[in-house]
Amino acid sequence: MTPVLRAQRLGKRYRRRWALSECTLDVPAGHVVGLVGPNGAGKSTLLNLATGMLTPTEGTIEVCGGPAGGSTQQLAKVGFVAQDTPVLAGLTVAEHLKLGAKLNPGWDDALARRRIEQLGLDPAQRAGKLSGGQRAQLALTLGIAKRPELLILDEPTAALDPLARREFNQALMEIVSEEGVSVILSSHHVADLERVCDYLIVLVSSQVRVSGEVDDLLAHHHRLVGPRRDVTTLPGDQLVVSESHTDRQTMLIVRTEAPILDPAWRVESVSLEDLVLAYMSLPAGAVPGPRPTLERVR
Amino acid sequence: MIWLTWRQFRVQAAAACALLAVVAATLLIAGPPLTGSQARLAEAANVVYLGGIVAVYVLPAVIGAFWGAPLVARELEAGTVRLVWNQSVTRSRWLDAKMGLTGLAAVLTTAVLTMAVTLWSDPIDAATRPNTIHAVSDEGSAPEVFAARITPWLFGARGIVPIGHALFAFVLGVAIGILLRRTVPAMAVTLAVFAVVQIATPALVRPYLIPAVRETVTITGSSIDRLGPDDDGVLELGVAGPRGAWILDNRTTVDAAGKEVTAPDWVMDCVPVPTTKPTPQAEVTTAQCFARLSDLGYRQRLTYQPADRFWTLQWRETGLFLLLSALLSALCFRWTKRRLP
């Protein structure tokens, strides 16, 4: 199956600062992918590269089998809900749907109208007068009604209140289950992602720290608690993601596909949030051994 | 795409139509100037005459600042490009529709305004053409002297040149908007740059669109246009050029060898003091005086663009601005594709 996103040594530089570097990813189709990382990690840059809004400084990025952005066919394959969910303030809700219909050959007008009706939006309302939540929903409607193969959402809920955020996430999950579209969603709300995503990419300081299916990630990461010991004495296939020591105790989060056999350890499972936080708090370039990437997961 | 462009542009289009309607109404109410044997412009007609010129000059600047600069900058600023560019329409197609439709509107608006103003002012402009002999009014007062339409400040408000200026100002605004990505600074910079272009064109470009006519003429008492010391006390002598022409230089005196010189100081005394009433004797003296100057080999060099070159100059300047607009448009497309957002 064609991967929805394939990046090879992808990099983007703004003047002298690298917003993204050495990014190699291979995301299979049919997932809801969570892209998580602290602010300024390069999440928006990666997503904007995927939509063709930005062009890479180095490396390549392919989306749904074609180079990102550029042609009409490629644009039709990808729906994008940009950060802050921009809408044209002077146009009404109905005019936004007309815009979508005029500018997208694959536009599904019935779907768009149904969604607007479900949301209870007044078609005659100007988009500039909508609330943040309604605006996000309108942007999502535009993104999905063009019937893309991949829907990309860049922190769509960042500016929303908890209620609007929950409604948005519900709408998104409905769309995913009904339309069967692949989704890439960035957020720094790990809890939101946990509910929605089945695939995770952790991006920190412009580099991919870990990526893979959520179930695999959870199965391959363990919290080890035991008497204090030096991490260099661990078996070679156990990659230490985080370590903390007290005088007598050592607590590690390690990644390994092999079972933990050392009886000195008490082995606990990790939550997705723990896992993300462990990767996010790693200093830059500090991933031990070969950097865990997708190839190591599958 | 055309629907969206029109939807976003319709308020400005309505404003343009309203402006043209107001101008048309004003010109109709004012009625044709210089009717019958009138030789002087009525005060109201004079206001309309000057107002028309100002309007034709201001319109391209307004188009550049209010249609051109915000065209892309406003969408970049509001982030709405990220919505529009992710529909199934390429950026080039998007910019194509936006610049095409708005540019066409800019050209049409300017064309209609300039045509209306030019038509209304035609009797006044006609009075300056060399082949028109102006009727002296009944009151016996001297006919009013109007600027020839080739005069730099009038040239830019007549014919087809304003269309070239308007299209250039529009594209300039778009380009600056793309570069600055902020609406208000882009508007200000567009106005400033366009003003510089408007001032620089007549001074530095237009005189050279066709090589100017250069003539060496005999200095006579009747052709003398200026005689006296300039600010530095050096004698300055000027002769009048052909009627309706755009005089580029009439102050250069040359000697028999063709070298640029200053006329001898005694020429100053050739012409009687203006306050005294000219007597036949004084005229004879003046004629003799200038004949002596001529015998010594002194001539005046005259550089000018003749009145009949008006349309050639108009086409060339318009062509130049259209070319500049095309180049700038190409840059706009390039930048939109490569540099944005």
Q: What is the pLDDT of residues A131-169, one digit of tens each?
A: 989 999 999 999 999 999 999 999 988 888 889 888 898
| Together in a domain, A100 and A208 | yes
Torsion sign (Cα): A206, A207, A212, A217: negative
Please spell the DSSP secondary structure of B294-318, one letter per residue.
Answer: HHTT-EEEEEEE-GGGHHHHHHHHH
pLDDT for A289 equals: 46
Could you say which of A172, A187, A213 is where a domain stops?
Answer: A213
The pair of structure tokens assigned to A229 is: 């010991």
Q: How many CB atoms lie within 10 A of CB A73?
A: 11
Which carries the bigger pLDDT value, residue B257 or residue B73?
B73
Query: How many Cβ contacts (< 8 angstroms) between chains A and B?
Result: 71
Please spell the DSSP secondary structure of B44-111, one letter per residue.
Answer: HHHHHHHHHHHHHHHHHHHIIIIIIHHHHHHHHHHTTHHHHTTSSS-HHHHHHHHHHHHHHHHHHHHH
pLDDT higher than threshold 80 for residue B339: no
**B contacts of A86 (beta carbons < 8 Å):** 78-80, 82-83
Residue A93 lies in a domain: yes
pLDDT higher than threshold 70 for residue B34: yes
- The chain A residue lying nearest B89, using CA atoms, is A72
| Together in a domain, A264 and A148 | no
Query: Average per-residue pLDDT in chain A?
Result: 87
Least confident of A231-235, B180-184, B298-302, B333-337: A231-235
pLDDT higher than threshold 80 for residue B324: yes
Residue A141 lies in a domain: yes
Q: How many CA atoms lie within 13 A of B274 on its CB side?
A: 4
Determine what percent of chain B is predicted with pLDDT higher than 70.
Answer: 89
Q: Is B324 on the interface with A (CB under 8 A)?
A: no
- Kindly provide the residue ranges of all beta strands, DSSP E only, lying in A137-238, ordered along the sequence: 150-154, 182-187, 199-204, 207-213, 221-227
The pair of structure tokens assigned to B135 is: 């009727």
pLDDT for A1 equals: 67
| Together in a domain, A67 and A170 | yes
Could you say which of A183, A213, A243 is where a domain stops?
Answer: A213
pLDDT higher than threshold 80 for residue B341: no
Residue A295 lies in a domain: no
Reduced to 3 DSSP states, what percent helix, strand and coil does chain B have, rounded to the nearest 5? 60, 10, 30
Range of the domain at A238: 220-280
| Together in a domain, A114 and A28 | yes
CB burial class (10 A; 0-12, 13-18, 19+) of residue A290? exposed
pLDDT higher than threshold 70 for residue B65: yes
Q: Kindly determine whether residue B79 and residue A142, on different chains, have CB atoms separated by under 8 Å.
A: no
What lies within 8 Å, CB to CB, of B3 at 6+ separation is A98, A99, A102
| Together in a domain, A76 and A204 | yes
Range 64-93 of B in CB contact (< 8 A) with A:
78-80, 82-90, 93
pLDDT for B244 equals: 81
| Together in a domain, A48 and A168 | yes
DSSP reduced 3-state for A37: coil
Evaluate whether B84 touches B75 at the Cβ level (below 8 Å): yes
DSSP reduced 3-state for B235: strand
Cα separations (Å) of B170 from B117, B165, B301?
Answer: 21, 9, 41
Mind listing the pLDDT tens digit for each residue in A240-256?
888 888 889 999 999 98
Residue range B96-101: average pLDDT? 95
Cα separations (Å) of B23 from B19, B29, B51, B67?
Answer: 6, 10, 10, 20
ipTM of the complex: 0.84
Evaluate whether A128 touches A89 at the Cβ level (below 8 Å): yes
The band of B228, judged by pLDDT with boundaries at 50, 70 and 90, is confident
Q: How many CA atoms lie within 13 A of A221 on its CB side?
A: 25
Adjacency order of strands within the sheet including A182-187: A78-81, A150-154, A182-187, A32-36, A199-204, A207-213
pLDDT higher than threshold 70 for residue B12: yes
| Together in a domain, A46 and A184 | yes
pLDDT higher than threshold 50 for residue B102: yes
Q: Is B7 on the interface with A (CB under 8 A)?
A: yes
Mind listing the pLDDT tens digit for each residue in A283-295?
765 554 444 444 4
Report the Cα–Cα distance between both ends of chain A, in Å, rounded: 15
The pair of structure tokens assigned to A290 is: 């070969």
| Together in a domain, A228 and A204 | no
CA R_g for chain B: 26
Q: Kindly determine whether residue A82 and residue B82, on different chains, have CB atoms separated by under 8 Å.
A: yes
Residue range A252-263: average pLDDT? 87
pLDDT for A295 equals: 43
Mind listing the pLDDT tens digit for each residue in A159-205?
888 898 888 989 888 888 888 899 999 987 888 888 889 999 998 88
Mind listing the pLDDT tens digit for each residue in B137-158?
344 445 566 788 888 889 999 9
Q: How far apart are CA B32 and CA B120, in angstroms?
A: 6
Residue A246 lies in a domain: yes
Cα separations (Å) of A30 from A208, A285, B199?
Answer: 21, 31, 62
pLDDT for A285 equals: 57
Could you say which of A162, A188, A213 is where a domain stops?
Answer: A213
DSSP reduced 3-state for A185: strand
pLDDT higher than threshold 70 for residue B103: yes
pLDDT for A243 equals: 87
The band of B38, judged by pLDDT with boundaries at 50, 70 and 90, is low
Residue range B12-22: average pLDDT? 95
| Together in a domain, A195 and A251 | no
Residue A232 lies in a domain: yes
The label of the residue with tokens 């990630």 reads: A217
Number of domains into which chain A is organized: 2
Q: Kindly determine whether residue B83 and residue A106, on different chains, have CB atoms separated by under 8 Å.
A: no
DSSP reduced 3-state for A261: coil
Evaluate whether B262 touches B302 at the Cβ level (below 8 Å): no
Q: Which residues of B10-36 are buried (b: 16+ CB within 10 A; e: fewer)?
A: eebbeebeebbeebeebbeebeebbee
Q: How far apart are CA B156 and CA A189, in angstroms?
A: 61
Q: How far apart are CA A156 and CA A160, in angstroms?
A: 8
pLDDT for B274 equals: 59
The pair of structure tokens assigned to B312 is: 């050639």
The CATH number linked to A113 is 3.40.50.300
| Together in a domain, A27 and A76 | yes
User: Which residue of B82, B86, B334, B336 to mutate against A (max A Cβ within 10 Å)?
Assistant: B86
pLDDT higher than threshold 90 for residue B61: yes
Residue A294 lies in a domain: no
Q: Is A78 on the interface with B (CB under 8 A)?
A: yes
The band of B118, judged by pLDDT with boundaries at 50, 70 and 90, is very high
Q: Which of B79, B93, B341 sits opposite A84 (nearest CB)?
A: B79
Q: Which residues of B52-70 are buried (b: 16+ CB within 10 A; e: fewer)?
A: bbebbeebbbbbbbbbbbb
| Together in a domain, A269 and A170 | no
Q: Which of A51, A82, A105 sits opposite B88 (nearest CB)?
A: A105
Residue A289 lies in a domain: no
Residue range B325-334: average pLDDT? 96
The pair of structure tokens assigned to B301 is: 């060099």
pLDDT for B276 equals: 59
| Together in a domain, A209 and A119 | yes
pLDDT for B60 equals: 96
Q: Is A292 on the interface with B (CB under 8 A)?
A: no
Residue A296 lies in a domain: no
